[in-house]
Amino acid sequence: MAKLTQDELLAQFEEMTLIELSEFVKAFEEKFDVTAAAAAPVVVAGGAAGGAAEAVEEKDEFDVILTGAGEKKIQVIKVVRELTSLGLKEAKDLVDGTPKPVLEKVNKEAADKAKEALEGAGASVEVK
Protein backbone atom coordinates (compact mmCIF):
# COMPACT_ATOMS: atom_id res chain seq x y z
CA MET A 1 0.00 0.00 0.00
CA ALA A 2 1.43 3.38 -1.01
CA LYS A 3 1.94 5.94 1.71
CA LEU A 4 -0.29 9.02 1.31
CA THR A 5 1.18 12.48 1.66
CA GLN A 6 -0.27 14.99 4.07
CA ASP A 7 -1.82 16.92 1.18
CA GLU A 8 -3.47 13.77 -0.17
CA LEU A 9 -4.90 12.98 3.27
CA LEU A 10 -6.25 16.52 3.63
CA ALA A 11 -7.86 16.26 0.20
CA GLN A 12 -9.63 13.09 1.34
CA PHE A 13 -10.84 14.76 4.55
CA GLU A 14 -12.19 17.72 2.58
CA GLU A 15 -14.56 15.38 0.75
CA MET A 16 -15.98 13.90 3.98
CA THR A 17 -19.17 15.06 5.66
CA LEU A 18 -19.09 16.17 9.29
CA ILE A 19 -20.64 12.87 10.33
CA GLU A 20 -18.09 10.80 8.40
CA LEU A 21 -15.26 12.88 9.83
CA SER A 22 -16.63 12.46 13.36
CA GLU A 23 -16.82 8.67 12.89
CA PHE A 24 -13.26 8.66 11.54
CA VAL A 25 -11.99 10.59 14.57
CA LYS A 26 -13.70 8.11 16.93
CA ALA A 27 -12.17 5.16 15.09
CA PHE A 28 -8.74 6.84 15.10
CA GLU A 29 -8.99 7.50 18.85
CA GLU A 30 -9.91 3.87 19.52
CA LYS A 31 -7.25 2.40 17.21
CA PHE A 32 -4.37 4.46 18.61
CA ASP A 33 -5.70 4.95 22.17
CA VAL A 34 -5.52 8.76 21.95
CA THR A 35 -7.92 11.64 22.42
CA ALA A 36 -8.36 14.29 19.74
CA ALA A 37 -8.40 17.71 21.35
CA ALA A 38 -8.76 21.04 19.59
CA ALA A 39 -5.42 22.79 19.36
CA ALA A 40 -5.14 26.34 20.62
CA PRO A 41 -5.09 28.71 17.67
CA VAL A 42 -1.76 30.39 16.97
CA VAL A 43 -1.99 34.05 16.02
CA VAL A 44 0.99 35.43 14.16
CA ALA A 45 0.94 39.19 13.70
CA GLY A 46 3.62 40.90 11.68
CA GLY A 47 5.37 44.13 12.63
CA ALA A 48 4.55 46.58 15.41
CA ALA A 49 0.88 46.85 14.40
CA GLY A 50 0.13 43.39 15.81
CA GLY A 51 -2.79 44.49 18.01
CA ALA A 52 -4.43 46.46 15.21
CA ALA A 53 -4.03 43.61 12.74
CA GLU A 54 -5.77 41.20 15.10
CA ALA A 55 -8.74 43.55 15.53
CA VAL A 56 -9.21 43.84 11.76
CA GLU A 57 -8.89 40.10 11.03
CA GLU A 58 -12.02 38.31 9.91
CA LYS A 59 -13.43 35.87 12.43
CA ASP A 60 -12.71 32.28 11.38
CA GLU A 61 -14.03 30.33 14.37
CA PHE A 62 -17.70 30.18 15.23
CA ASP A 63 -19.85 28.65 17.96
CA VAL A 64 -23.24 27.14 17.08
CA ILE A 65 -25.59 27.75 20.03
CA LEU A 66 -28.91 25.95 20.36
CA THR A 67 -31.33 28.52 21.79
CA GLY A 68 -34.53 26.49 21.62
CA ALA A 69 -35.69 23.01 20.59
CA GLY A 70 -39.05 24.02 19.13
CA GLU A 71 -41.93 21.59 18.81
CA LYS A 72 -39.96 18.76 17.16
CA LYS A 73 -37.57 18.01 20.03
CA ILE A 74 -36.90 14.41 18.96
CA GLN A 75 -35.77 15.51 15.48
CA VAL A 76 -33.55 18.17 17.06
CA ILE A 77 -31.96 15.54 19.34
CA LYS A 78 -31.28 13.36 16.27
CA VAL A 79 -29.58 16.25 14.46
CA VAL A 80 -27.50 17.10 17.56
CA ARG A 81 -26.34 13.48 17.69
CA GLU A 82 -25.42 13.61 13.98
CA LEU A 83 -23.41 16.81 14.44
CA THR A 84 -21.60 15.68 17.58
CA SER A 85 -20.34 12.43 19.02
CA LEU A 86 -22.80 12.63 21.91
CA GLY A 87 -24.88 9.68 23.05
CA LEU A 88 -28.66 9.80 23.28
CA LYS A 89 -28.78 10.92 26.92
CA GLU A 90 -26.13 13.61 26.46
CA ALA A 91 -27.83 14.96 23.33
CA LYS A 92 -31.20 15.03 25.11
CA ASP A 93 -29.65 16.83 28.11
CA LEU A 94 -28.09 19.39 25.75
CA VAL A 95 -31.42 20.02 24.00
CA ASP A 96 -33.29 20.22 27.33
CA GLY A 97 -30.75 22.65 28.80
CA THR A 98 -30.88 25.30 26.09
CA PRO A 99 -29.26 27.71 25.43
CA LYS A 100 -26.19 25.50 25.03
CA PRO A 101 -23.38 25.31 22.46
CA VAL A 102 -23.68 22.39 20.04
CA LEU A 103 -20.42 23.04 18.16
CA GLU A 104 -17.58 25.28 19.28
CA LYS A 105 -14.73 26.84 17.30
CA VAL A 106 -15.77 25.50 13.90
CA ASN A 107 -15.25 27.19 10.53
CA LYS A 108 -17.95 29.30 8.87
CA GLU A 109 -19.03 26.55 6.45
CA ALA A 110 -19.49 23.94 9.21
CA ALA A 111 -21.36 26.46 11.37
CA ASP A 112 -23.72 27.32 8.51
CA LYS A 113 -24.38 23.66 7.72
CA ALA A 114 -25.07 22.88 11.39
CA LYS A 115 -27.38 25.89 11.70
CA GLU A 116 -29.27 24.88 8.56
CA ALA A 117 -29.66 21.27 9.79
CA LEU A 118 -30.86 22.32 13.25
CA GLU A 119 -33.29 24.91 11.89
CA GLY A 120 -34.57 22.31 9.43
CA ALA A 121 -35.45 20.12 12.42
CA GLY A 122 -37.35 23.02 14.01
CA ALA A 123 -34.74 24.36 16.46
CA SER A 124 -33.76 27.96 17.16
CA VAL A 125 -30.04 28.47 16.55
CA GLU A 126 -27.56 31.32 16.98
CA VAL A 127 -24.08 31.47 15.46
CA LYS A 128 -21.50 33.55 17.31
Largest CA distance in the chain: 53
Q: Is pLDDT of 91 > 50?
A: yes
List all residues 6 or more positions away from 32 whose beta carbon is below 8 Å from its beta carbon. Answer: none
Note the CATH number of domain 62-127: 3.30.1390.10
The share of the chain scoring above pLDDT 90, in percent, equals: 0
Q: Is pLDDT of 124 > 80?
A: yes
pLDDT at 48: 47
Residue 83's CB is within 10 A of a number of other CB atoms, namely 21
The whole-number average pLDDT for the span 96-102 is: 85
pLDDT at 56: 46
Q: Which pLDDT tens digit goes with each residue over 9-63?
A: 888 888 888 888 888 888 888 888 887 665 555 555 554 444 544 554 567 788 8
